[in-house]
Amino acid sequence: MEIPFYLSFREFENEYYNNLEKWFENDKNTNETDFLLTMKEIYKPYLCYNFSEDKLQTEALIQVKNCFFSFLENYGISFQIDRNSKNSNTKINSVSEAKTISMMDYAQCVLDKIHTYFQQYQISMKENETVLDYLNHYEIITLREKNGYCLDYDQHQKTIPFLKAYLPRFGSTVDISLYRDFYCSAVKIADFIDQKLKEVEAFDQSIYTELKSEAIMKIHMRGHSFLTICN
């Protein structure tokens, strides 16, 4: 069963028991703990642990490659080059740097790539199609332009639940207010899931517990690396 991704805590809370009921209908050999752990994996990537306040906070970020000079035209070179030739000495490789962006920017990037693809191939959506029918199109997601973000298709798979909920069915611009609602709701949703895990005596597998443990481990490893360098 595909569990819906909610951008609003109120909607998430209102639909919790309906989704739980569907979960049981889909698989008789399961329990609420399995349901909660599945939801945990959906929302966990958009959260982090705050040491100073000892609580979770929203961190809806993703790392992408920011590509520059993908083609020779960017350098103003006007003569013809065979880019497929392995022996060409005049080929200029793409330059890229890692960049961390918000999930709203990522969603807008995906939306831009979809519309760019339509323009390049002079096609349009069919009558019964929406943007969501193209959000995981391999050629679109891996589309390379002269400059801009280069998306990793495997990494992109983890963003599908969020994109299905957030991307507009039609149009070329994402909704900032909808994203703001999600940003404010993510922690509330996580706290709800963790409270339910506590009720079924599985708090050791909660989002809070796992992210805190991961944060402590990162600090420990950072300190270990520093001591190694000093020695």
Residue 81 has pLDDT above 50, yes or no: no
Sign of CA dihedral 36, 44, 52, 222: positive
State the pLDDT at residue 97. Answer: 87
pLDDT value for 225: 52
| Amino acid at the residue 230 | C
Does residue 19 have a pLDDT over 90? yes
- Residue 24: the pLDDT is 96
The residue ranges of DSSP E strands in the chain, in sequence order, are 47-50, 55-58, 61-68, 95-102, 148-150
CB 113 within 8 A of CB 137: no
Distance in angstroms (rounded) separating the CA atoms of residues 22 and 38: 14
DSSP assignment of 131-156 = GGGGTT-HHHHT---SSEEEPPHHHH
**How does pLDDT run across 103-112, given as a tens digit for each residue?**
999 999 999 9
Beta bridge partners of 67: 96, 148
> What six digits make up the tokens of 132?
């969501």
Of the pLDDT bands very low, low, confident and very high (cuts 50, 70, 90), residue 224 is low
pLDDT band with cut points at 50, 70 and 90 for residue 70:
very low
pLDDT at 74: 45
Mean pLDDT on 47-52:
96
Task: Tell me if 58 sits within 8 A of 187, measured CB to CB.
Answer: yes
Spatial neighbors of 157 by CB under 8 A, at least 6 apart, are 136
pLDDT digits (tens, 9 = 90+) for 135-147: 999 999 998 876 7
- DSSP letter at 4? P
In the chain, % of residues over pLDDT 90: 74
pLDDT per residue as tens digits for the range 156-193: 999 999 999 999 999 999 999 999 999 999 999 999 99
